[in-house]
Amino acid sequence: AGNLMKGKRGLVMGVANKNSIAWGIAQQLAAQGAELAFSYQGEELEKRVRPLVESLPGNPFMVTADVTDDASMDACFDALEKKWGKMDFLVHAIAFAGKDELQGSFTHNTTREGFKRAMDVSAFSFVDAAKRASALMPDGGAMVCLTYLGSERVVPNYNVMGVAKAALEASTRYIARDLGPHGIRVNAISAGPMRTLAMAGISGGRTLMKTGKDWSMLKEDTRMEGVAGSALYLLSDLGHSCTGEVLHVDAGFHAVGVPDIADEG
Ligand code: NAD
């Protein structure tokens, strides 16, 4: 425990269960004194999210928000404004693409509807949330979203989600420029593969996990501790001067050109 986030209030979007990256981040923020609000996708998730949230100190606030629904987003941010008046940070850990689209040929399996949906939930939602959250940040603030290397390189089966993540990362830079003059920093964390609900939707997810470890520089899985720690860094005052950045937290996997090869001598 520490006090890096003492006096800061923020919204965490995207807790579905105890394995969610958003939950890992929330725990580290709470341990550093942050005051938290949580948004969850819908009533079905409330059952799973409430016991987690209630295990945190300080009586965190919970509100439902479906990012594809303007009325739901309006209600979420209205509730936050009523409760807090202003806020200091935003965590966006939300993505979705249909199962049929997360396999096989990107070229052949991506429908117009699927493309729009992945973009809407996984990229536009950050633009929308950033607009709404920044309106409650008169004293400046910080925002992070979660992305993955499939935006920069071709990863089997990641397909339309890779395209959506490329849009999310580009959006991060544009938002960062717009909000920079208001003292708001905006960054993305590019996490290595982690065992979550979202990962379970990707065909070949187990192989992705294994390759992510075996080919990484550290020869280990990406740890929640590191992903959450990077969010803490970016959202606290330690992150001063860092904005518009995509920070890779993936055991070094992103920088490897060729995995280890057997000695030919
Ligand atoms: P997760 O399934 O726990 O979280 C995804 C969240 O998105 C869920 O809480 C879900 O309710 C929410 N969501 C989906 N559609 C929504 C909607 N319409 N409205 C509101 N919420 C909606 O999985 P996760 O792995 O923790 O994913 C969090 C973020 O991390 C995602 O952006 C994901 O792409 C990213 N990420 C994950 C990995 C990984 O390997 N798991 C790696 C890099 C980045």
Strands of the sheet containing 61-64, edge to edge, are: 61-64, 35-40, 9-13, 89-92, 141-147, 184-191, 246-249
- Answer whether 150 contacts ligand 1 (Cβ < 6 A): no
Residue 201 CA: nearest ligand 1 atom is 2
- Ligand 1 centroid from CA 122, angstroms: 8
State the residue range of the domain holding 40: 9-253
- 61 Cβ inside 6 Å of ligand 1: no
Q: Which residue's alpha carbon is nearest to atom 34 within ligand 1?
A: 95
Among protein residues, the one with the nearest Cα to ligand 1's atom 41 is 194
Ligand 1 center to residue 15 CA distance, Å?
A: 8
pLDDT of amino acid 170:
99
For the stretch 59-100, pLDDT in tens is: 899 999 999 999 999 999 999 999 999 999 999 999 999 999
What dihedral do alpha carbons 149, 152, 156, 160 form, nearest 10°? 100
pTM of the model: 0.98
pLDDT, average across residues 140-153: 98
Span 48-69, pLDDT tens digits: 999 999 999 888 999 999 999 9
User: Helices marked H in 99-194 — which ranges?
Assistant: 106-109, 112-119, 125-134, 159-179
Residue 261 domain flag: no
Q: How confident is the model at residue 203 (pLDDT cuts 50, 70, 90)?
A: confident
Is ipTM over 0.95?
yes
Q: At residue 195, does pLDDT exceed 90?
A: yes
* Strands (DSSP E) found in 31-108: 35-40, 61-64, 89-92
What is the token pair recorded at 77?
């941010």
**2-45 residue pLDDT tens:** 999 999 999 999 999 999 999 999 999 999 999 999 999 998 99
Of 19, 20, 39, the residue with max ligand 1 atoms within 8 A of its CB, to mutate for a pocket test, comes to 20
Within a domain: 203: yes
What confidence score (pLDDT) does residue 196 get? Answer: 94
Question: What integer pLDDT is reported at residue 265 of this predicted model?
Answer: 74
167 in contact with ligand 1, CB cutoff 6 A: no
Q: Compute, in angstroms, the gap from residue 199 CA to the centroid of ligand 1.
A: 8
Q: For the chain, how many structural domains are there in total?
A: 1
220 in ligand 1 pocket by Cβ < 6 Å? no
- Cβ(198) to ligand 1 under 6 A? yes
Establish if 1 belongs to a structural domain. no
| pLDDT, tens digit, 9 for 90 and up, residues 113-133 | 999 999 999 999 999 999 999
Residue 260 CA, ligand 1 centroid: distance in Å = 31
**pLDDT on residue 261:** 84
Nearest ligand 1 atom to alpha carbon 168? 32
201: confidence class by pLDDT, cuts 50, 70, 90: confident
d(CA 165, CA 153): 11
Give the residue-averaged pLDDT of 185-206: 93
| Ligand 1 center to 98 CA (angstroms) | 13
Q: Tell me 56's DSSP state.
A: S
For residue 264, is it within any domain? no
In this structure, is residue 262 part of a structural domain?
no
pLDDT at 130: 99
Residue 147 is part of a domain; what is its CATH number? 3.40.50.720
pLDDT in tens, 216-242: 999 999 999 999 999 999 999 999 999
148 is catalytic: yes
Domain assignment of residue 194, yes or no: yes
In a domain, 4, yes or no: no
Q: Distance from the CA of 14 to the center of ligand 1, in angstroms? A: 6
Name the residue at shortest CA distance from atom 11 of ligand 1.
41
- 158 catalytic? Reply is yes
Q: Is residue 260, in this structure, part of any structural domain at all? A: no
Angle of CA points 173, 174, 179, to nearest 5°: 100
